[in-house]
Structure 1
């Protein structure tokens, strides 16, 4: 059901979990703002011009959207770095959770939640697709050997799925916690790495469209 769905964006630096409210969600609901947040999460601090170059946008556009994100504390200026003309920005520490059950029944709010979650998932899918397609050509062998793409299929009740997802998410977060503050400057030999854990019921479209009261033929 719509109100039971949650989405968690990758954490940045600390373990805090921010539940995104309606006002902040609407401010985040722009494809370029999601892209900016993703780049800052994956590659660390950037200037508006650096983000513009990476994303193929104008620096005026990235600067404007960074300021809007900053108003809702999705990004922050890096203290002591840059100038008044060229500011550095970083992702605000912590993970983001979007729980549609917290957001009410407004169609506009639901559409904003769909846009945000769709953009986050599209980014994840694009990164995985690039790794699968080009990893063997672009990534050193030792990095390929350290990587894994794993899928497990299992039948669960709703309660079992919720419990498994919570435990797995907490476990991966705890494993990653010692490394969240590492940067290219602080630790030699690092490169951006993304960790995924997906857990969801598989839909059989024909069966799921069958009315609940209809019995299967014997």
Structure 2
């Protein structure tokens, strides 16, 4: 999920993005649906029963939420795979963009946007926590190339924009690693990049 507004976060699968409309945003504002969407990003394709095992829910529940995600254009059925009883699902190509509503009086829309953004951030935090708690299950070669880095800086808004542009250029370069689900030796990985002003800080006078 990506936003150009006061709160920004990104969930990109390919190099194209769409802006979420009110109906899509409302459909996504459910913790389990965000968890399902996040799993499909990491695992490429899953069935309702496979997702149910991962999230501890019934396959009936995951099937319902998968249909809602598909209805609003977030996911799609995998062509030529599965049966009528066992359908495979994947994320649709492209990322999506979420911005805070322009109307500061639209309390409901603001709350929905924040709910979606916070759930995605919780999903990211769970991945890092899982890595730290289960690092002993990974081979040394994977741990040696793992990086968890925080860089603290003082920047102007213009400099932040420059850093963001540099990240976008780097992110575009990662396209050469797309579609490696069947590549020998490959496993799901994620690259996280957060760039934001500290809200408890103060801006230096000009």
- Scaled by the length of structure 1, the TM-score of the pair is 0.85
5+ residue gaps in structure 2?
none
Aligned residue pairs, count: 200
Matched, 1:143 2:119: no
Question: Secondary structure, in 3 states, of the residue corresponding to 1:85?
Answer: coil
Contact 1:22 1:103 in 2 (8 A): no
Q: Which runs of 4+ in 1 moved over 4 A?
A: 101-105
User: 1:59–1:166: structure 2 CA closer, same or farther, 3 Å change rule?
Assistant: same
Q: CA RMSD in A?
A: 2.0
1:3 deviates by: 4.8
Corresponding residue number in structure 2 for 1:187: 183
Corresponding residue number in structure 1 for 2:117: 117
Following superposition of structure 1 onto structure 2, how do residues 124-139 of structure 1 map, counting pairs within 5 Å?
124-135=124-135, 137-139=136-138
Contact 2:101 2:110 in 1 (8 A): no
Distance in 1 of aligned mates of 2:113 and 2:10? 12
Distance in 2 of aligned mates of 1:62 and 1:118? 21
Following superposition of structure 1 onto structure 2, how do residues 29-44 of structure 1 map, counting pairs within 5 Å?
29-44=29-44
Contact 2:16 2:94 in 1 (8 A): yes
Matched, 1:84 2:91: no
Question: Secondary structure, in 3 states, of the residue corresponding to 1:191?
Answer: coil
Distance in 2 of aligned mates of 1:25 and 1:103? 16
User: 1:147–1:36: structure 2 CA closer, same or farther, 3 Å change rule?
Assistant: same
- Scaled by the length of structure 2, the TM-score of the pair is 0.90
User: 1:105–1:41: structure 2 CA closer, same or farther, 3 Å change rule?
Assistant: farther
Distance in 2 of aligned mates of 1:85 and 1:18? 31
Distance in 2 of aligned mates of 1:155 and 1:63? 47
Distance in 2 of aligned mates of 1:15 and 1:155? 30
Q: Deviations over 1:16-65 (max 9, x none)?
A: 11221222111110000000000000011111111111110011110011
Distance in 1 of aligned mates of 2:106 and 2:184? 48
User: 1:103–1:178: structure 2 CA closer, same or farther, 3 Å change rule?
Assistant: farther
Select the structure of larger CA radius of gyration: 1
Q: Deviations over 1:82-109 (max 9, x none)?
A: 1111111001111122111467742111
Contact 2:31 2:119 in 1 (8 A): yes
Contact 1:34 1:120 in 2 (8 A): yes
1:154 deviates by: 0.7
Corresponding residue number in structure 1 for 2:100: 100
5+ residue gaps in structure 1?
209-218
Question: Secondary structure, in 3 states, of the residue corresponding to 1:96?
Answer: strand
